[in-house]
A and B are shown apart, each in its own frame.
Chain A
């Protein structure tokens, strides 16, 4: 006869809920049944991949925890497509110089006004990501300011959920620019950098396995 506790545990496992077991340890027979239920549930097709929002959110939290040199604001920008578009607009306006004031409608925190001092035209560096077949994978814009910013968009890179970008300096050094999270094959990244655009030579995109997907030379 099955106990209610075991029955409730199995129901939770079958439904994909977090199962609870209260009041004492299960016996060996119950353990075997619970283990089997978990094994069968974990085999449900299509359920074993991590949720993209979870991956993004954990990345943001870890960045806050392990990379305090990056302002939290940067991480927020990195994780929301709408806000990345905001920086895209800022980068675009930077082409003509002047001060940009943009209004961002954040879903959870109301409306925020962000003032960005746009730099002069000669401080911009622009490049196009291309793979070895010459196919365009995206663009990168770097402009000088306090701080300097790098903005990039990436498009149609196979079926990856994210790609990694590294910046190449004129002295041969390599600096990690960050991870571009892709949705439907597209993604954007906005990031502050602690170096001037004049010190950058180009950038490279890498897939999850470390394979080079494409590169850009900055003009």
Chain B
């Protein structure tokens, strides 16, 4: 039987992230009544956490399902909600790592430092925890205008490469080159932008 990991840090009610964009509330020590409560209280958080790391619905849904199937069977309900959530996020971390090993051979993204922070966030707020958009916008903001624009069109505004080329008044092959160079630069910028 699983003994849920202890959350190593706690934060007072109303504390915030480094960027000050999210107000966190410490989960109380209530326990979940049944697995359905665990599911309904955490499905949104887990899906969003995983989606931010894979970027597509099909993988996010498969991995979220795997997390619940893996975690629910040995889960003890006599531990606090905070410990249950920490356990779910630890399981998500493992499931995601296994996904990358299986499909790519290397780890592309991971659920890591976020785990403790996410475990402390109480649901019920519509603005759910993901720093992905803010970080992506910071990366884009650091790029030259044309690089930023091609990435905005392709990744944020759902344009095909043809549509993006048309919007930027360049040929399709030029748009592909532009996108590739922009992604290379964005990758370099991303290493300098705080997670």
Contacts and interface: CB of A to CB of B under 8 A. Distances in A.
18 contacts: A13-B55, A17-B56, A25-B105, A38-B55, A38-B108, A40-B136, A42-B54, A43-B137, A45-B156, A47-B57, A48-B132, A49-B44, A50-B44, A51-B57, A58-B39, A62-B35, A209-B123, A209-B124
A36 interface: yes
Interface stretch (A85-93, A97-105, A117-125, A171-179): A171-179
Interface of B: 30, 33-37, 39-41, 43-44, 47-48, 51-61, 64-65, 68-69, 72-73, 103-106, 108-109, 122-124, 126, 128, 130, 132-133, 135-137, 139-140, 151, 154-156, 158, 160-161, 176-177, 179-180, 183-184, 186-188, 190-191
A10 B179 contact: yes
Nearest to B104: A21
Contacts of A18: 56, 58-59
Given A40-B155, A48-B51, A159 B41 contact: no
Nearest to A35: B108
| Residue from B57, B72, B103 with most neighbouring chain A CB atoms (10 Å) | B57
A212 interface: no
A178 B40 CA distance: 10
Given A39-B132, A40-B140, A40-B151, 13 more contacts: A10-B180, A11-B161, A14-B155, A25-B104, A25-B106, A40-B139, A42-B54, A43-B135, A43-B155, A44-B158, A59-B43, A174-B33, A209-B124
A16 interface: yes
Contacts of B53: 38, 42
| Residue from A14, A20, A58, A66 with most neighbouring chain B CB atoms (10 Å) | A14
B43 A26 contact: no
B143 to A, nearest CB: 11
A208 B42 CA distance: 9
Contact of A39 (B41, B64, B128, B135): B135
Contact of B55 (A21, A41, A54, A211): A41
B56 A19 contact: yes
A178 to B, nearest CB: 6
| Residue from B36, B48, B59, B130 with most neighbouring chain A CB atoms (10 Å) | B36
Given A37-B55, A207-B124, A50 B108 contact: no
Interface string A18-37: 11110011100101111111
Contacts of B103: 20-21
A34 B40 contact: no
Q: Which 7 A-B pairs have the closest CB atoms?
A: A209-B124, A43-B136, A38-B55, A40-B155, A32-B187, A25-B105, A50-B47
A36 B132 CA distance: 11
A166 interface: yes
B160 to A, nearest CB: 8
Contacts of B122: 209
Contacts of A44: 155-156, 158
A48 B41 contact: no
Contacts of A17: 56, 58
A111 interface: no
B59 to A, nearest CB: 6
